[in-house]
Amino acid sequence: MKKHPSKPTGNSKQQEATDRWLSKPGIRKAQNEKARIRMQREKAMPVPSHRSPRTNSSTSLQPVRTLIAHWKMEWASEDVWAREYNLMRTRVYEQGESSVKGFWNGTRDHASEGREIIDKIMEFICHTKRGGDDHQHANLVEACNMLLSTVLETKFFECQAEFYDEQCSSCLC
């Protein structure tokens, strides 16, 4: 019995298009630079004091939501990350050494940016008044969920970069 190949989903088509676009010379570097600028801009934003009666926690959570939306890899659940990452890595290795170095630098940058976002989420959590109203409670729950997903993705990329660094040091790449 002959198997028919499954049709690509909208998400996989989008991911392929994104991968093709990011693989063009200079594009990934430009996107990383834009992300760094965004992170610096967000870092410069003042965090409201938890003592201020006018503190609105949703106001300070919105920039973090935006950062995560721009930073996060849209690879669905964690059980497919390794496969998606390996597919992307394979395509990069086919493009040559300069692409490979850029890919690994991008991996390290993504992990580093994740750490900065984690710091912002922790800052938000620390400055949110405990025992507040339902809205504050909902924001804390959302912040904790964002923290969890950001830590998972950051750790994944840190492990990938660490693996590459170990491989390079053992083979003198």
Predicted confidence band of residue 16 (pLDDT cuts 50, 70, 90): confident
Q: What percent of the chain has pLDDT over 90?
A: 28
- Which residue segment(s) compose the domain that 152 sits in? 103-173
Residue 24 lies in a domain: no
Per-residue pLDDT reduced to its tens digit, 117-162: 999 999 988 888 777 788 888 888 999 999 999 999 999 999 999 9
Residue 73 lies in a domain: no
Residue 68 lies in a domain: no
What is d(CA 77, CA 26) in angstroms, rounded to the nearest whole number? 29
pLDDT score at 45: 55
pLDDT score at 115: 95
pLDDT score at 5: 53
Predicted confidence band of residue 52 (pLDDT cuts 50, 70, 90): very low
Residue 136 lies in a domain: yes
Give how many domains the chain has, as a whole number.
1
Residue 15 lies in a domain: no
Residue 147 lies in a domain: yes
- Output 13-22 pairs: Cβ under 8 A, ≥24 positions apart: 15/74, 15/75, 15/84, 19/88, 19/91
pLDDT score at 48: 47
Neighbouring residues of 103: CB distance < 8 A, sequence distance ≥ 6: 28, 88, 89, 92
pLDDT score at 54: 41
CB 98, CB 120: distance < 8 Å: no
Residue 127 lies in a domain: yes
47's tokens = 């965090």
Residue 112 lies in a domain: yes
pTM to 2 decimal places = 0.62
Neighbouring residues of 25: CB distance < 8 A, sequence distance ≥ 6: none
Neighbouring residues of 57: CB distance < 8 A, sequence distance ≥ 6: 124, 127, 128, 129, 132, 135, 136, 139, 140
Q: What percent of the chain has pLDDT over 70?
A: 71
Whole-number mean pLDDT of the chain? 79
